[in-house]
Every structure is written in structure tokens, then in C-alpha cells.
Structure 1
């Protein structure tokens, strides 16, 4: 363990009389790495400076492949095409006074965590093994089976999930001869999916003599921001609405993906109302199995500021409250329902002081306009009970597991046959087979019609001939006639 692996926890503490030595040259996971963007600040000093770097992605690769443990980089902030690397991050800067320069247009990209993924294909199951560079506390599960095929992880650097081929609960799918695939999610929070989570597409391929293992990884937290489906809920006396908007509280989002920057907006619709409001007991609920997570407690303070921040007044009006959050979802549903208790107060609402950790891990006080209603004597005309507001939103993840299934259902999936080097479109193959069978049926029907017509004409000609000649020979028996017809038909059948 070191300061990097225990970042975000309380495991690293000052101790008088002791010196701490940290190895900066060890080898750690570096395959799947996620960087967090720290806007407006860059380090005063760094370890390496590279010039003529073409892009920020190339700078990122220089950091991941550096000879030391690079944990942050910035690009183009100290000069055009200049890439700067450092082994420092916020976890290692707690003892350094003012390590950053405040530059509004600049940004530092800080390494959050890395994951090495390995897949073991065994006789009756597949095992996905994960090795991380930072203590992981969450769970790992098969997508579509978050409750039945899951592994709970408690502060570990290595963990795994075993998925049996014949176990329906793990949803392992057979895709071709000897090919098994499944989708796995690494989820940091115990109940909801956030932008920090990973999606893995794992595959095991078997043949008759030996086995080969391939694994494909989809980080799943990239892409453009999509809006969110929202529905306005309005209550009376006073008229208060809870909406899901952008961070400015202006545009109502119609759809959203995990990680999108959103805000919950509480607004008194009547601009001339004498009341203000405060919010408490804000809960997010799953639309399927009734799982829930408390976002704002009964005292009006955020329970986890990484999920939802404090409630504050809008700069435009004291009758509008906002709370910022990044879009999240529950594993078993794409519907997230918000439920909150809103209480009016007059003439103004008293805020509450909430303690929370800042980005450096230190605790500080923050103001939140969510507070239990003060018990005081008011007139009957000014007394109001708590109002329950409910709002639903549809939020999708960014893993991209279902995109291939959608393409397959629309008839555009192509299958690659390795031995012949041939790419076959499945939908085209089905259409061609249908046309071929229809043509065969048409040929058989036409031949049958022609054969029956010839048989009928032959019979008429035979009857005319028999009536024209003298009847000197005994008539043929019915059995002989049937045999001749059968032989004639049998000859035609053999020709066909």
C-alpha cells in the first residue's frame, strides 16, 4: 500500500517520530486507465516536459508509458504543443503548500485508477479477474443480473467473478460454435451506476483440440452528453415544481446518460408568493425493485457530495433552489425516481451548515438550504405541511452493450468466417435463402401443372385411337391401366 492505493480513505495518517518512504518505480496496472479533469489549475513544477506533442491523447500515452509512476499531465497550457508530466496527484500533495497555479483556461488530467483485466476460460465456466492500482470498494456483476450474479468487493486490489456456462442467472450467451460471451460491469457505488464505472465485454472461444482466450474491453464512460426524459410534477399551496435541468437551471433535459452534468431545480412558480422553500429527505429510487439511496438527509445535508452536492439558492431568485449532480442509474433499471419533502417558510428559510470533504480530502463546511422545519408559532394562514414532490427520469449507461444487439435485430449484423476469410451478412443470407426456396417451389408447381396437362392430352389421344380401330383384342383390365399410369408417372418423377 501507499498514498496512491489508499487515496480517498483515512488509512494514511500523520505519526510523530516516523518517516514514510514511498517507492516511485514499482510496476502497477496500466491497461485500462481513467483520468479525471481538474479545471483551472496546473502544477507549478513537473518531472518531464515534452515539446512538439501532436495531441492531448499523445500526451496521455506519454504519461502511461513513462519510466516512473506518472499520475498527472497537462497539455498546451504552458506553450503550444507542450506536454508536462508529474508523479504527483492530489493524494500526494497534502504536505506541499500551494502546489498549483490558478489558470482559468488550463486543466490538469489526474490519474484516477487503472485496471488490468484477464479472462480464464475453463471447462464449465469463465472467470474475469481484475487487478487495480487503487483500493476498490464496490461490486462486480454480470450486466442484466446485478443481484443474482454478483461479487461484493471490500477494499481490495484484486477480485474476480466466476460465470458458469449453464447458469442462467449469469446470462452467459453462446455466440456461435464454441464461443461464449458476456457483459460485466465494475461498479464503484453499492447501489447506483456512475461515470466512474467500467463495462467489460468478455469472450471465451473453444475449438476441438485446445482453447484460446480473447477479451474485449469497452470503457463505456466516453461519448457526447445526451439529454433526459423528464416529467414536471406540480403541487399546490404554494405551487412548487421539481425539474431536472442543466447546471444553470435553465434547459429541462429530455434524456441523459450516466455522468452527464445535471441539476435538480425546486421552484415556486408564483413569482409574487411570499414564501421560500427548503428541501430535506431527498431520495433516489429504482423504478423496478424499489432500491433507494438517500441523497439529502433529514437535516438537509448531502449524504455523499460525490453523488449530489448541497442545495443552494439560485442567483436569479430566492424562490429557486438548485443542487448539482452527475447523472447516475441503478443496475437493474434505466428509470430513476427522485422523491423529496419540500417545506415552505416565511419570510425566508434558514440554511444549515454541512460538513463535507473537498477535493483534497479535507473537511470543510458548506451551506445547504435543506433543513428540518423550525418549530415556531405561526398563524394558521401561514402554516403549511410538508409537500412530497416526485420526479422520474430515464438514464442510460454508456457501456454500449446493447448497440450490437440492436444492429443484429435490424438485420445488419455481419459474421466473419475465419477459415475462408469471408464476411457474410446474416440478413442478406436469410433473404437469399428465402428467394431460392420460393423459386424452387414455383418451378415444382409449374412442372406439376405441365405434367398433368400432358397426361390429360395423352389420355384423350389414346381414347380417340381406340375408337378408330376394330376391337379385336380383349380390353385391358383396370389394374393394367393403373400400372401403365403409375409407370408413366414414375418415369417422369425419376427424370425430375
Structure 2
């Protein structure tokens, strides 16, 4: 299509069509025709669904000799979600429409969007008080016009950048967001929570769509009330980054799930008067299923836990008189930050790793409740763990599935799980599946407080030194230091005692050699007391110095 725009004679007059006359080719064709190229030499007429507005900013529009370019100014364009850019200091010399007594610039904007022609720019209050001027021109259509703007310092022109019409098709198994734009779009559309798994790349198109199935966990469709499904969609122009020109949409599908009476009539080819023997009308409510994170017994709901705590996932039909039972499949756990995920129950209904999540079994109380045991776990980057599961009702009962479970010895053991994969059905029946979501906050047991410090106890602290990465246990260091000091004190005390005793012995020998003195019987105890006092005094003074 871009090749159709490589033709414009420099001296050609650009003709804007009247909405009631001119070439029938532009109005009696199968697609939305926006422009045409007419070759004067060959008489060939080329039609296109693109024009200078839809291709603004590209180099697809070129000059060519012998070609006349015509543009349809009456084609209907999207006018719902529109963005205008402000051009300061300039206004158009000529315009298409002038309105007086317009109350505000917003009213002038609405007049442009609802004009009977393709309005691409407007100005307000620059040529007179409460005056609104509209034009089908923009910078993209004025490239060949010399000085189309007046330079007015305090004035401003608002130029249409792009518009988007968004429609939601709510089908039995999915919701489809359909987008129409006024300017060719080259980028991507994706579900906000799943930019890599639920995405569609768009290449130079004016219309595109994104389908989001209710049973597709990757598209992050959420159930918000009875029969109400919501999701957030992002229209991103750049392939890698989000910019201010991107658009975020909240899309919703609402279904009427009230009780319905269904009757079937069968013509068996019997003619004449027939008295019916039995007429029966049955109304069956759709089951209302809840998923909860509870303690191991399935009783108390657990809003938070620590890693390793014994927990259980509880799936329950709230209406005890419901004729349905349920089974679970495709149970996944997701990180609350970067959407990292692990599969706990696969598409067949079997646990992928019984060390993380056990099989799904019926409660001893009733067949309306399913339980699965697990120990609390978390992702490294977040304390929030989100569980998502697909639950399918079946009537009157659900058949379990045999799963092979590997024991610690390496042997396989067959276990029963009520996560049976349902029989393959058509797309129209996919609304039977229910997507259940539940979150829990799980903290670790490392003992970090909110400031990132450890609590008092046996702790490991990083000690800066010349050897990077040296890690020392503080409690062990204290014990070792205490033992070392005690040993040193004991050695000093023993050395002091021996030294004093030796000194005293030498003194006594000298005394015995010089004179013989009769000593009282109490000298031995006094000497012992003196030595003890001497030891105690020395030891205490030495300890103080140490």
C-alpha cells in the first residue's frame, strides 16, 4: 500500500472531494478508500485505504510527474480516544469552520471531533473572544503550502495526533479487544500483567485486536464479581519501552448468570391429538466456587504465613445443595513482583512435584470440598505469592485421575488426584472453566527486621578487612575471647602463686641458716593467710591492669 503514495505531481492541484459528488470509485468499493492516484498518461486509477493523515511522519508520500493525487475528506475516522498536540505561537491563515460564543476550549475540541468532515486541527480565542475555528488541515497536509501559519506569540493551534476506537467482543470463551486507529500503528498490544506471554505484534495497520481467553492463565483475565471479567490492556507504540503516547485500557465483560429455564422441542413425526404423559422443567444454578488458603486441616483462613508452615489449598462449592462436583487443573503459583511462576498441578491434574504440592483429594466432610496440602514457600523477589487454578464443574460426580508419585526411595507410587483433565470440548463450551485467584503473604525465617538488620541472637556479620568477604560468627567470637582471657588469667595466677612461694621459701632458708627461733604453733595458719592476702592483692591489681 505504501507504493500507492509514491505518486504526486509537484504542480498537481490536490482535490478534496465533496461528500456528494466526484468519483464513484471512492464510495462504491469493498474497503474504506481514503485516497486515489490517477495516471494522466495511462488513465489508471489506483485506490488505497491510506492517505497523508494515516501515514503522517513517514516518507511514503513522494512527488511524481504525471500523477494526480485525490483524497477523501468524508471518510469516517475513529473519534473516541483522541490526543491533540499543542503548537504554540501559530494559527492557520484559513480554516473550514468558524464558531462563535463557544464556552471553552474543551467545547471547541468536541466540535472538531464531531464535525461533518475530517477535522484535524482547531484554535480557540486567538482571533476573537469565544471564537472556535476548525480545519481539516494539519502539518502533514500542508507540506506543499508556503507559509500556511500566522506567527502569533500568544496563540496556539491544537493538532490531532491520533484517535482510537475500542470495542470489546465478549464471547463464550474469551474477550476480544478490537482497536481502530486514525494513524497507522506499528507496535504491540498486550495484557498489562503479561507483556511477554499475552501479546500481539502489529505492523503498519489501522485495525488490530487481542484475544484473551478466560481459561488462559497467561492473559491474566480476572474475575470481578459474578459473571464479570476484567483486564488491563496496553497499546504500546515502541517495541521496547513505554512512552507518553502509549494508551492503557481497562476492558470488562459482563455476563448474565441468572437462572434460566431451558426447554427443548423435538418433532417425532407423530400427527394427531397427543396428550403429554409427563412434562418437566428443570432449572440448574451454576456453581459458585471459592479457593482459600487455610491451615493444614482446611479450617482457618491464613492471610499470611512463614516459609515452611503447613498449609492447604481449599476449593469449595459454596452451595451445599448444588448438584455439581469440581476438579482442579493447571494450578500455578506466581511471584507478586516479576510474574515468575511454577506449575503445581499440571493440565492432566497431577502434581508436578509432590515435595512442593500434594495431590488434590476430597474432604472427609463432603464431596463439595477439595484439599491439597503444601508447606509455605515464597519467591526470592517478593513476599506475595499468588495462586491461580482452573476449576471445572461436573455433574453428578468427578472422576479422579491416577498419578505416579516418586517416593524418597526412588520408587513410583500411584495416587489419586481430583485434578482430572476434562474431555476435549469445543471452544463454545470453554466457559465451563472457572479461573480462581488467591494471594498470601509469606515471609522468610531469616529474622531480618524492617531496617534490614538482624535480630539479637546467633548472627553472622560482615567484617570489613583486607580480605574481602571475611564472614565471622559474632557469638562464637565472644565465646572464644572469653575462654582465651580465662586461660590467660589462670596462667598468670598460677605463675604468681609459684613465684611468691619460691620467694618465701628462699627467705625461710636464709633465716634458718642465720638463727634458730622457736615459732608459735599458729604461724602456719598466719603464713597461709599472708600468702592468700598477697596472692589476692597481686591478682586483683594485675587484673585491673590487664
- Please tell me whether Structure 1 or Structure 2 has the larger radius of gyration of its CA atoms: 2
TM above 0.5: no
TM-score, normalised by the number of residues in structure 1: 0.42
